[in-house]
């Protein structure tokens, strides 16, 4: 935890909370990235637009962060990038299965 920055963590949490609240009030649905991605693969009529926008926002924010703060994306641990990607997919799959 040598690089823990409480203010940036708080800011990130506030942005996630704000995005979740906007989706909840706009659509009446609770945000879950696995569900949003699933809705892109098999969209309901008129439902794919906000889902695609949400996912593109996630990707764009990651790309911006990688551009402006590349040191936050350095792999300093012993885990490989494919292993971490697999772990992320399994978490998403488990979340989707529990819902």
What is the tens place of the pLDDT at every residue in 61-84?
888 988 888 877 776 666 787 888
Q: Can you tell me the mean pLDDT for 12-21?
A: 85
What is the share, in percent, of the chain residues with pLDDT greater than 90?
3
**What pLDDT sits at residue 76?**
66
Backbone phi and psi for residue 88, each to the nearest 5 degrees, phi listed first: -65, -40
Model confidence at 87: pLDDT above 60: yes
Q: Identify the helix (H) or strand (E) that includes residue 49.
A: helix 48-68
- Contact residues for 37 (Cβ-Cβ < 8 A; gap 6+): 51, 55, 92
**What pLDDT sits at residue 95?**
59
Query: What is the four-CA torsion angle of 65, 21, 42, 50, rounded to 10 degrees?
Result: -70
| Mean of all residue pLDDT scores within the chain | 79
């Amino acid at each position: 935890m040598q690089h823990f920055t409480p203010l940036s963590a708080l800011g990130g949490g506030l942005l996630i909370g704000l995005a979740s609240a906007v989706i909840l009030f706009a659509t009446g649905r609770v945000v879950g990235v696995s569900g949003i991605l699933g809705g892109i693969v098999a969209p309901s009529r008129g439902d794919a637009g906000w889902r695609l926008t949400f996912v593109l926002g996630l990707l764009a924010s990651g790309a911006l962060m990688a551009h402006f703060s590349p040191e936050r994306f350095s792999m300093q641990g012993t885990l490989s990038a494919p292993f971490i990607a697999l772990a992320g997919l399994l978490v998403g799959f488990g979340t989707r299965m529990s819902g």
